[in-house]
């Protein structure tokens, strides 16, 4: 149940963040979404080249010793005792991953070319948002 809520909260978070800000900021955010995504990917690629390897998140399961109920008291008036069980708990682990550094450099170069194109396309969008929603 808690895991479902956590996943829902993570999915709803971008919508809540997008609702924040002035109308001008929301307009600019909508118009530059691809550029911001690409900037994030460029930063990740540069970090991979700097380290010499990539980092990937791997979903695993670990066992946790948790209370799963109560033992009925054997004596009249005695307090119930907790019953413990092993439960599988989902977990995410970050692990290193070898990458072809030459291919990563080529990918980074390609992304930087696309970044320049998106920056040029974003300038008029930003100007239009500032004209439409002056602060």
Cα separation of 46 and 54, whole Å?
10
CA-angle at 39, arms to 102 and 105, nearest 5°: 5
- pLDDT tens, residue by residue, 96-107: 999 999 999 999
**According to the model, what pLDDT value does residue 21 have?**
86
Cα separation of 95 and 60, whole Å?
11
CB 85 within 8 A of CB 68: yes
Helix (H) or strand (E) holding 81: strand 81-97
pTM of the predicted model as reported, rounded to 2 decimal places = 0.66
- pLDDT tens, residue by residue, 68-92: 998 888 888 888 889 999 999 999 9
């Amino acid at each position: 149940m808690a895991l479902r809520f956590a996943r829902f909260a993570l999915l709803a978070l971008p919508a809540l963040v997008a609702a924040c800000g002035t109308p001008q900021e929301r307009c600019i955010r909508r118009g530059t979404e691809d550029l911001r995504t690409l900037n994030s990917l460029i930063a990740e690629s540069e970090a991979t080249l700097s380290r010499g390897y990539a980092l990937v998140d791997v979903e695993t399961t670990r066992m946790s010793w948790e209370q799963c109920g109560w033992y009925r008291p054997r004596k009249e008036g005695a307090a119930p005792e907790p019953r413990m069980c092993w439960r599988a708990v989902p977990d995410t682990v970050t692990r290193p991953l070898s990458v072809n550094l030459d291919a990563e450099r080529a990918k980074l170069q390609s992304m930087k070319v696309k970044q320049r194109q998106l920056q040029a396309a974003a300038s008029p969008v930003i100007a239009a948002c500032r004209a439409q929603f002056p602060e």
